[in-house]
C-alpha cells in the first residue's frame, strides 16, 4: 500500500522550494489537508475547529452546499474570460445595492490590489499626492501600505517607517502617519499639509474598535479639507453587517475596498465609490491625462463572482448576522470568564464578528497600547488552543456561521485548558 506523506514530509518539501518554508501568510509548521463546514484537518489527520477561516473569506464555512452548487454550475461554462461576463456584472449590482458609498465598482484579484488602486484613484481625483494612514493599519502589500504597519521602533508622528526592504524614500515622503483614534492629531496634520489626497483607514483597525465619534470625525475633517475618505473594508465588508462598517457605524466613506467574503473563498476583490470618482477609470470621460489605467487577468472572474454572489445571498437572509454575533459573544464570554476566574489581566478587543484577547490591563485604542504585557503568554495561550483542536491566528479569531453547539463545547474545553497553561 502506498504510504501517504506525513505533515513532516510536506514541511520538508516546502522548505526546499518556498522561502522560509511557506507562502508568507501563516505558520509554515502546519499543512492543511482539507476543510469542511466549521472544521479543518492537517496532513496528519488532526482535526480543528476553524477560527482562521482562510483569514476571513469562509464566513459560511468550508464547502457550503449552496456555494458549491453555484460554482459547479459555472465551471463548465468557463473559468475565466478576461472580458465582461454576466456573473461579474450581477456581483457588481449586488455590491452597489448593499454598500452605501458604492455607485460603481471595479474588480481586482486581491485586497492589496484594491487598496493600491484606491490610493491611486484618490490621487487622480484630487490632484494631490500625500496619503494619511494610521500606525498599525493594514492595507495590503503596496509600497504605501507597507509604511508603519508594524514598526518595531517608535518615531515621532507623522514620520513613516518602512516595513519592508525595497521601498524608496520618496514613497515615505508622501505618507503621513497618525495614531488611530486621535482626531486632534489628524486635524493638525490636515491643517499643516494642504496636499493630502486621502485618509485611508480600517473602520475596525485589525481588531481595535474606533472610539465613539472617531469615524464621524474623520468624515467631517475630510469634508472640511477637501480630502477623500477611504474605508478599507476588505475585512469588515459583509462581516460587521451586510453593508459592512458603513452600515454598522453609520458613516459613509468616499471610496471603499472590499475583498475576502465577496469572492466566496476565491481570489476576488473590488473598490467602489461615487460615479464621479470612478469616472477616472473611463478614459473617454476624463481624458488621457486624468485616466487611471487598471486591468488584471482574473478581474471579475466568473467562478469567484458566482461564489461571492451566493455567499452574499445567504448572508442577506433573516437572522444571519444575529447568529454570527451570538456565536462571537458566546466565545468572548468563555474567554472572559475563564481568565477572570484565573485572575489574569486581559482585554477582549474587537467586534463580536472579529476579535481576540490582549493580556494586559490597558485599554486598547491604538497600535502602541494594543499589545500584550507578556507576548510569551499569548504565544503559550495560542499554542495550547491549537494542541486542543482550535485553529486560529495568533492575533485574531474569526467566528463563522458554520460554528455548531458541538464546536462551542470543544472551544470551551480548549479555552479552559489554555488558561490553565498560562496560569
Cell numbers found for residue 317: 437572509
- 251-271 pLDDT, tens per residue? 999 999 999 999 999 999 999
Q: Is 398 a catalytic residue?
A: no
CA distances from 144 to 137, 164, 233, 297 (A): 11, 11, 17, 23
Q: Which fold has domain 31-63+320-422?
A: 3.90.1150
Calpha distance 195→177 (Å, rounded) = 14
CA distances from 230 to 112, 172, 236 (A): 14, 19, 13
- 201-243 pLDDT, tens per residue? 999 999 999 999 999 999 999 999 999 999 999 999 999 999 9
Calpha distance 144→171 (Å, rounded) = 6
Cell 463546514 belongs to residue: 37
Domain ranges of the chain: 31-63+320-422, 65-315
Q: Is the pTM of this model over 0.95?
A: yes
Cell numbers found for residue 332: 468572548
**2 pLDDT higher than 80:** no
Q: Which residue is catalytic, options 87, 130, 260, 310? A: 260
Q: What is the mean pLDDT of residues 86-102?
A: 98
Q: Which fold has domain 65-315?
A: 3.40.640
Polymer length in residues for the chain = 423
Q: Which residue is catalytic, options 232, 254, 351, 356? A: 232
Calpha distance 73→65 (Å, rounded) = 12
**1 pLDDT higher than 70:** no
Q: Is 138 a catalytic residue?
A: yes
Cell numbers found for residue 348: 477582549
Q: Is 232 a catalytic residue?
A: yes
Q: Which residue is catalytic, options 138, 180, 249, 398? A: 138
- 12-47 pLDDT, tens per residue? 999 999 999 999 999 999 999 999 999 999 999 999
270 secondary structure, DSSP code = E
- Domains 31-63+320-422 and 65-315 are alike in CATH topology: no
- 277-317 pLDDT, tens per residue? 999 999 999 999 999 999 999 999 999 999 999 999 999 99
Calpha distance 400→169 (Å, rounded) = 41
Calpha distance 367→136 (Å, rounded) = 5
Amino acid at each position: 500500500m502506498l504510504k501517504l506523506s506525513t505533515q513532516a514530509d510536506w514541511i520538508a518539501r516546502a522548505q526546499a522550494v518556498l522561502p522560509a518554508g511557506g507562502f508568507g501568510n501563516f505558520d509554515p509548521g502546519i499543512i492543511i489537508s482539507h476543510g469542511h463546514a466549521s472544521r479543518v484537518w492537517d496532513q496528519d489527520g488532526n482535526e480543528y475547529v476553524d477560527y482562521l477561516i482562510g483569514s476571513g473569506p469562509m464566513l459560511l464555512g468550508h464547502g457550503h452546499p449552496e456555494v458549491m452548487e453555484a460554482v459547479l454550475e459555472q465551471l463548465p461554462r468557463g473559468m475565466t474570460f478576461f472580458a465582461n461576463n454576466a456573473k461579474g456584472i450581477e456581483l457588481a449590482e449586488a455590491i452597489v445595492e448593499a454598500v452605501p458609498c458604492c455607485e460603481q465598482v471595479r474588480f481586482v484579484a486581491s485586497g492589496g490590489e484594491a487598496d493600491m488602486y484606491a490610493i491611486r484613484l484618490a490621487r487622480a481625483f484630487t490632484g494631490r499626492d500625500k496619503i494619511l494612514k494610521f500606525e498599525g493599519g493594514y492595507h495590503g502589500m503596496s509600497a504605501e501600505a507597507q509604511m508603519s504597519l508594524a514598526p518595531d521602533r517608535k518615531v515621532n508622528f507623522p514620520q513613516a517607517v518602512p516595513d519592508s526592504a525595497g521601498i524608496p524614500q520618496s514613497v515615505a515622503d508622501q505618507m503621513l502617519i497618525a495614531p488611530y483614534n486621535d482626531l486632534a492629531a489628524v486635524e493638525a496634520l490636515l491643517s499643516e499639509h494642504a496636499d493630502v489626497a486621502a485618509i485611508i483607514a480600517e473602520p475596525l483597525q485589525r481588531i481595535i474598535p474606533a472610539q465613539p465619534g472617531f469615524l464621524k470625525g474623520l468624515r467631517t475633517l475630510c469634508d472640511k479639507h477637501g480630502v477623500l475618505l477611504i474605508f478599507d473594508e476588505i475585512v469588515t465588508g459583509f462581516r460587521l453587517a451586510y453593508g459592512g462598517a458603513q452600515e454598522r457605524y453609520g458613516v459613509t466613506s468616499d471610496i471603499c475596498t472590499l475583498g475576502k467574503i465577496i469572492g466566496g473563498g476565491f481570489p476576488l476583490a473590488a473598490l467602489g465609490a461615487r460615479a464621479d470618482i470612478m469616472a477616472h477609470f473611463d478614459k473617454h470621460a476624463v481624458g488621457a491625462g486624468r485616466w487611471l489605467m487598471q486591468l488584471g487577468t482574473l478581474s471579475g472572474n466568473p467562478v469567484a463572482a458566482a461564489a461571492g454572489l451566493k455567499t452574499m445571498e445567504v448572508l442577506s437572509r433573516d437572522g444571519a448576522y444575529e447568529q454570527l454575533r451570538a456565536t462571537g459573544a458566546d466565545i468572548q464570554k468563555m474567554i472572559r470568564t475563564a481568565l477572570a476566574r484565573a485572575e489574569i489581566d486581559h482585554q477582549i478587543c474587537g467586534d463580536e464578528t472579529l476579535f481576540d484577547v490582549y493580556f494586559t490591563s490597558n485599554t486598547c485604542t491604538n497600535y502602541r497600547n494594543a499589545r500584550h504585557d507578556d507576548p510569551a503568554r499569548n504565544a503559550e495561550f495560542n499554542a495550547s488552543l491549537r494542541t486542543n483542536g482550535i485553529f486560529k491566528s495568533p492575533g485574531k479569531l474569526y467566528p463563522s456561521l458554520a460554528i455548531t453547539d458541538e464546536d462551542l463545547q470543544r472551544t470551551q474545553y480548549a479555552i479552559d485548558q489554555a488558561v490553565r497553561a498560562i496560569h
